[in-house]
């Protein structure tokens, strides 16, 4: 039995779809009424805060895909999940972590991922870490100002980043979950095929929406102030504003993790933007974590 946590998230839902037919799969959700289609998986209603429901969800599971929302409670939630998994007899945990996860990161979530990785290493269970770079899907949060104002404003400087499509992350996760023993004790960096700068992204978005789009490189302080002014929680605004400094020069180079796990090259930014043409032209998208 494979248990997929955060099963309604942008990665978790796609993991379930890709595991269809792989044997018994259970999807952990907070609210069954809003779960929608989960590709025929058994449903377990539970949350990371409820240890009893979490234990019930993990009963009988041999492998767990551990994902979750960004939150100030991220470490406590995932540590609870690890403890419950170990007590339930789970053999292998595949953790959705992040490239740049380290104890001295400028981004709190990256420090949190590092803490959870260390806890998992000490748990006695087999483990695999998936460490994606920035999600391409995050770029869709700029769809509104791109379409309305021709403006892509972000605190990312002039560097290039090897963005990765969450569809590729889900495919990589499903490949590990189908045969976890072969991936025990390994950490995979997941990136796109090349590093791309925001100025190029702005130009490509402009070609899709039919107008000139300029990239405005904001300072982290400016970006953070704008987010907080829009009602984004301070902890979230701080992490988003600092994300450009979260990666080393080496981590901003593409690697072969997606191809190694899926047997195909990762999605290029050109294809991703074209696939999301309707969202960009409409100028609206939900905010992606």
Q: Which residues of the chain have pLDDT under 70?
A: 284-289
Domain 136-162+192-248+267-282 has CATH 3.90.25.10: yes
For the chain, domain boundaries: 2-134+164-190, 136-162+192-248+267-282
Give pLDDT, residue 284: 60
Give pLDDT, residue 287: 38
What sections of the chain are H helices per DSSP?
12-19, 51-58, 74-87, 108-121, 143-149, 166-178, 198-209, 220-229, 234-242, 257-262, 269-275, 277-282
Alpha-carbon gap, residue 95 to 64, rounded angstroms: 8
Give pLDDT, residue 33: 80
Backbone conformation region of residue 157, classed left if phi is above 0, alpha if psi is from -120 to 50, else beta: left
Give pLDDT, residue 174: 97
Question: Which superfamily does 2-134+164-190 belong to?
Answer: NAD(P)-binding Rossmann-like Domain (3.40.50.720)
């Amino acid at each position: 039995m494979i248990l997929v946590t955060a099963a309604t998230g942008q990665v978790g839902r796609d993991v379930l779809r890709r595991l269809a037919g792989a044997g018994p799969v259970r999807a952990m959700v907070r609210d069954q009424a809003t779960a929608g289609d989960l590709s025929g998986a058994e449903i377990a209603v539970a949350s990371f805060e409820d240890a009893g429901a979490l234990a019930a969800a993990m009963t009988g599971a041999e492998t767990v895909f551990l994902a979750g929302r960004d939150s100030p409670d991220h470490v406590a939630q995932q540590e609870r999940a690890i403890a419950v998994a170990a007590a339930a007899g789970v053999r292998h945990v595949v953790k959705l972590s992040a490239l740049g996860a380290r104890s001295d990161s400028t981004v709190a979530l990256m420090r949190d991922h590092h803490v959870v990785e260390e806890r998992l290493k000490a748990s006695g269970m087999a483990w695999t870490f998936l460490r994606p770079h920035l999600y391409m899907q995050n770029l869709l949060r700029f769809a509104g100002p791109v379409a309305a104002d021709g403006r892509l404003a972000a605190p990312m400087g002039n560097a290039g980043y090897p963005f990765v499509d969450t569809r590729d992350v889900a495919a990589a996760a499903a490949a590990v979950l189908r045969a976890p023993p072969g991936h025990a004790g390994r950490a995979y960096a997941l990136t796109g095929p090349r590093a791309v700068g925001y100025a190029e992204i702005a130009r490509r978005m402009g070609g899709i929406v039919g107008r000139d789009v300029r990239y405005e490189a904001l300072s982290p302080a400016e970006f953070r102030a704008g987010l907080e002014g829009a009602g984004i929680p301070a902890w979230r605004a701080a992490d988003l504003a600092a994300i450009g400094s979260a990666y080393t020069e080496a981590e901003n180079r593409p690697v072969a993790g997606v191809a190694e796990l899926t047997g195909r090259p990762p999605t290029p930014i050109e294809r991703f933007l074209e696939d999301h043409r309707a969202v960009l032209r409409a100028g609206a998208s939900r905010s992606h974590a």
